[in-house]
Structure formats: C-alpha cells, structure tokens
C-alpha cells in the first residue's frame, strides 16, 4: 500500500500557501476586507517588507463579537449566501478563505469593535488555533496583526523576496487600491517611516493626479449599463496601463494590451470600467487577479471609439499647440515608395514622396521648393525616417493632400478587411 490520504494539517498548509504566497498577498486580502467593511481610512504598517510584521487597521463596521471565532474558519464569509449571489458580487471578498489561510501560516492578532458595541474583542491565534481571547477597549473598526508570516511553512519562507522587493510590491498594491477608492484615506508605514499618505478626494481625477504626481486628461463614455472612464497622462513618460473593472484592479492581458495600443506606449493610462456585476466573473482565480468579462469585444470597441474621437483632435489643432502624437505601428516600406502603417483601426498606405513633400511644404510654405527638396519615390529611406515622416504628418495642418493636390495616402478600414474575409 503506497497511497494514503494527506493529513489535514498538510492539506491546510498547502491550500493556505495557494491563497497567500507573499506579504503583499496578505496585505491585499486584509486591505480588501477593510474596504468591504466600508472603511474611510486604512492604515498599513509593515516591518521588514511585511516578512516580520504586518498590521492593517481600519475604521469600518467591525466584526460582531459573536463572529470573532468564525471569521478564521475556512469558507466563512458574511458576503454571499447562495449560488445566485455568485452572479452578483459587489464586494472584493466572498470566498471566505483569506483569514483562514493567513491565520494558518502565521501568528495573528485580530482586534475588532463592532459599530453597535461599546467594547471590542481581541483574539490571539497561533497557526490557526485560538490561543487567547479577551475584551479590549478600542475605537470602532478592525485591526489585524500578522507576525512572522510562514514561520511554520519553511518552503514559502525560503522563497520570500528581499525586503525591498516585498515593500515595493506592497506600496504598489496600496497605490492601486487608492486609485480606485479616492474617498478612502490610505497610509503606509514601513519600518517606522511613513511611505504613503494618500488623503481622501471626492474626484477620481485628483486621486489619479496625486498618486502619479502628473496632470491627466479625462474622457468618459456611458452606454447602456457600461461606464468607461479613462485618464491619460498629459506628459509623455514611460507608459503604463492600469485597468479597473468595478473597482477591482485586474490583469486582463488582452484588455490591457488593447488600451496600450490605443493610447500609445508613452502615456500613463488608468481605465475604470464599471459594468453590471453579472458581466464579470471574478471567480476564475483564487486571488481574483484575473477576471472574465462577458462581451469583452463590445467593451473594447467602446474604448476604441473613445480614443478615436480623441485622435480626431489634432486635425483642428492650431500651429502653436505642442505636437500631438498618436500611437501608430510602422508595418513596412514597399518598393521604396509606399510606407505602410497601422493607425487606429486603419491600414494606411502613404506615398513616401508626397508625404515628405507635404512636410517640406509645411516648413517652407512654398510648393515649388518643397517638391525639389523632398524625398523622391524610389529612394531608400530608413524605418526611422519613415516613422519621423508619419509623426510629422500627424501634426500637419492639411493631412489629406500634397501641395499639388494629390492625396498623400490611401487607407483601408481594417474591420472591412476582416469582413471581406468572412470574419466578425
């Protein structure tokens, strides 16, 4: 006989390790619980990147004293009751796994005062078992302390990252939640130093701007029950894209990539998508980082439309406005004559000669000299030169025709190409 059932103690540790892999995972779960409890202020404190100590303190509803011992049981939750609730999740948590998992792989103290009570309760846990419990004088809210995470799970302990790495992960995480929850005050203290202090704001825009320390443009669109809000940095910087679906920061790769293409690689872009809960399945991943979105293509189309509208601006910009760049993809140069590029939803064929002619015209405003000084068709140009030409073209006053009135480009709507091939 070689096969036997694993002891429950081993099973517990394995599954706890699935939910919580690092101090940042721990902070994430505790933070989400604080937000679910309707807190307006959440303070996170860590020592040694959270490896030694994590404390998340909030001013939410608190835990009912009779629930104190229940919250650390596996699959114990106050957030859903039935299968049908799964279709309509409005909270971050609902699986009832986090406190159970964390308490199993650490020494933990939970302190909480329910909003209708005069007194709080304090409970100490060791590897998931209640070690002590007593009344505690405290403000309404909850404070969870986690000491020596993974002290009893050496495999996980061994693979923890360096203190700096863990601390940065935690800081990034808090900023993420701060972006989607402008009205909540977030604080991060690390080794006694205040690293983040993000005061509450009424408007998302203020929160986005203070979090990144830059100015942002805002666009929004509402169709049916779908609301999209996009913030794009005014400045060009190293681009990053953050996507929130119903306030949950998600790693939906295809959506992020779609936004990145639409906005270009030099912008910080924060996109908030608010859709009815039944259109999202957050239950595909234990950590809920990935979500499934129904009708994703429709949503992409709406986002695409927003950016396209924005792209049409530069056509009417006056000359003294700073240059405007729209993201494009250079696909190649054909016969040393045609420059191929994808811009928005179109495939563009530029005539290299006419394009460069238009460019010199914009510079000199003289049709005769521009024709002579420009790049002739048939002359080999580098990809870089081709990109420069397109970039310059985007800021032309007249993007349609060359100084002699010949069209500069021919374009195809990519959707039409797909349609003729029988797709979509």
Angle at 229 between CA 278 and CA 25, to 5 degrees: 65
Torsional class of 364: left (φ above 0), alpha (ψ -120 to 50), beta (otherwise): alpha
Q: How far apart are CA 233 and CA 221, in angstroms?
A: 18
Q: Is 93 in the site for ligand ADP (CB under 6 A)?
A: yes
Cα–Cα separations (whole angstroms), residue 83 to 78, 88, 284: 14, 10, 15
Q: Which two tokens stand for residue 244?
A: 């929130």
By the rule CB under 5 A, 33 interacts with Mg ion:
yes
Binding region for ligand ADP (CB under 6 A) out of 18-26, 74-82, 252-260, 336-344: 74-82
395 binding partner (options Mg ion, ligand ADP, none; Cβ < 5 to 8 Å by kind): none
The closest alpha carbon to 99, from 74, 116, 62, belongs to 74
Q: Which of residues 119-158 bind ligand ADP (CB under 6 A)?
A: 142
Q: Is 79 in the site for ligand ADP (CB under 6 A)?
A: yes
Q: Does 59 bind ligand ADP (CB under 6 A)?
A: no
For residue 399, what are its two tokens?
Answer: 């993007």
Please answer whether residues 404 and 398 qualify as being in contact, where contact means their C-beta atoms are separated by less than 8 angstroms: no
Q: For residue 5, count other CB atoms closer than 10 A to its CB.
A: 7
Q: Minimal distance in Å, beta carbon 293 to ligand ADP?
A: 21
Residues 6+ apart with CB under 8 A from 125: 72, 103, 107, 108, 109, 110, 131
Q: Does 352 bind ligand ADP (CB under 6 A)?
A: no
User: Looking at beta carbons, which residue is closest to Mg ion?
Assistant: 93
Q: Least distance to Mg ion from the beta carbon of 392, Å?
A: 53
Task: Read off the tokens for 348.
Answer: 């563009």
- Does 99 sit near ligand ADP (CB under 6 A)? yes
Part of the chain binding ligand ADP (CB under 6 A), chosen from 18-26, 56-64, 391-399, 404-412: 56-64
What is the DSSP code string of 240-303?
A: EEEEEETTEEE--HHHHHHHHHHH-TT-EEEEEEE--GGGEE-TTSTT--S-EETTHHHHHHHH
Closer by beta carbon to ligand ADP, 144 or else 160: 144
98 binds ligand ADP, rule: CB under 6 A? yes
Which residues on neighbouring strands pair with residue 243, listed in sequence order?
250, 271
Q: Which residue lies nearer to ligand ADP by CB, 79 or 133?
A: 79
Q: Which of residues 91-110 bind Mg ion (CB under 5 A)?
A: 93, 98
By C-beta, is 78 or 336 nearer to ligand ADP?
A: 78
Cβ closest to Mg ion, residue 33 vs residue 112: 33
Nearest residue by C-beta to ligand ADP? 93
Q: Which of 298, 310, 173, 296 is nearest to 232 (CA)?
A: 310
Decide which of ligand ADP, Mg ion, none touches 77; Cβ closer than 5 to 8 Å per partner kind.
ligand ADP
Check binding of 71 to ligand ADP (CB under 6 A). Answer: yes
**Site for ligand ADP contains 63 (CB under 6 A):** yes
Span interacting with Mg ion, options 86-94, 154-162, 183-191, 259-267, rule CB under 5 A? 86-94
Residue with token string 């979500």:
291
> Counting contacts by CB under 6 A, is residue 181 touching ligand ADP?
no
d(Cα 306, Cα 332) in Å, to the nearest integer?
27
From 199, 176, 33, 207, select the one nearest 103 (Cα to Cα).
33
Smallest Cα–Cα separation from 28: which of 139, 233, 170?
A: 170
Q: Distance between CA atoms of 81 and 62, rounded to whole angstroms?
A: 20
By the rule CB under 6 A, 291 interacts with ligand ADP: no
Q: Which residues pair with 198 in a beta bridge?
A: 186
Q: Which does 125 bind (CB under 5 to 8 A by kind): ligand ADP, Mg ion, none?
A: none
Among 34, 233, 352, 370, interactor with ligand ADP by CB under 6 A: 34
- Tell me: does residue 29 bind ligand ADP (CB under 6 A): yes
- Which residue, 93 or 403, is less far from ligand ADP as judged by CB? 93
108 binds ligand ADP (CB under 6 A): no
Q: Is 339 in the site for ligand ADP (CB under 6 A)?
A: no
Segment (H or E) for 12: helix 8-19
Check residue 61 for interaction with ligand ADP (CB under 6 A).
yes
Instruction: Determine the size of the site formed for Mg ion (CB under 5 A).
Output: 3
Residues that bind Mg ion (CB under 5 A): 33, 93, 98
Residues that bind ligand ADP (CB under 6 A): 29, 33-34, 37, 58, 60-63, 71, 76-79, 93-100, 142
């Amino acid at each position: 006989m070689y096969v036997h059932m694993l002891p429950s103690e081993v099973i517990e540790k394995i599954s706890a390790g699935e939910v919580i892999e690092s101090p940042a995972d721990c902070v994430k779960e505790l933070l989400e619980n604080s937000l679910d409890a309707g807190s307006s202020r959440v303070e996170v404190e860590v020592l040694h990147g959270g490896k030694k100590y994590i404390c998340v303190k909030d001013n939410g509803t608190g835990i009912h004293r009779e629930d104190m011992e229940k919250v650390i049981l596996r699959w114990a939750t106050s957030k859903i009751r039935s299968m049908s609730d799964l279709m309509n999740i409005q909270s971050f948590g609902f699986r009832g796994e986090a406190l159970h998992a964390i308490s199993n792989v650490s020494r933990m103290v939970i302190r909480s005062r329910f909003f209708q009570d005069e007194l709080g309760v304090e409970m100490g846990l060791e590897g998931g078992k209640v070690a002590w419990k007593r009344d505690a004088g405290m403000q309404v809210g909850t404070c969870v302390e986690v000491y020596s995470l993974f002290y009893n799970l050496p495999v996980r302990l061994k693979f923890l990252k360096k203190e700096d790495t863990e601390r940065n992960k935690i800081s990034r995480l808090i900023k993420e939640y701060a972006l989607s929850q402008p009205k909540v005050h977030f604080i991060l203290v690390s080794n006694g130093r205040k690293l983040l202090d993000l005061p509450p704001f009424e408007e998302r825009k203020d929160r986005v701007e203070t979090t990144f320390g830059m100015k942002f443009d805002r666009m929004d669109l509402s169709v049916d029950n779908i609301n999209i809000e996009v913030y794009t940095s005014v400045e060009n910087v190293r681009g990053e894209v953050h996507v929130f679906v119903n306030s949950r920061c998600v790693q939906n790769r295809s959506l992020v990539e779609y936004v990145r293409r639409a906005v270009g690689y030099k912008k910080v872009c924060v996109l908030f998508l608010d859709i009815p809960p039944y259109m999202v399945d957050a239950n595909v991943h234990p950590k809920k980082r990935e979500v499934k979105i129904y009708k994703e293509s429709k949503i992409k189309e709406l986002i695409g439309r927003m950016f396209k509208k924005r792209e049409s601006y530069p056509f009417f910009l006056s000359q003294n406005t700073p240059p405007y760049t729209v993201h494009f993809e250079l696909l190649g140069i054909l016969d040393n004559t045609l420059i191929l590029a994808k811009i928005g939803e179109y495939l563009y064929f530029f005539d290299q000669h006419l394009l460069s002619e238009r460019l010199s015209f914009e510079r000199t405003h003289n049709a005769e000299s521009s024709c002579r000084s420009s790049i002739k068709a048939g002359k080999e140009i580098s990809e870089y030169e081709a990109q420069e030409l397109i970039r310059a073209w985007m800021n032309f006053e007249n993007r349609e025709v060359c100084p002699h009135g010949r069209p500069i480009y021919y374009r195809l709507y990519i959707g039409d190409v797909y349609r003729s091939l029988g797709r979509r």
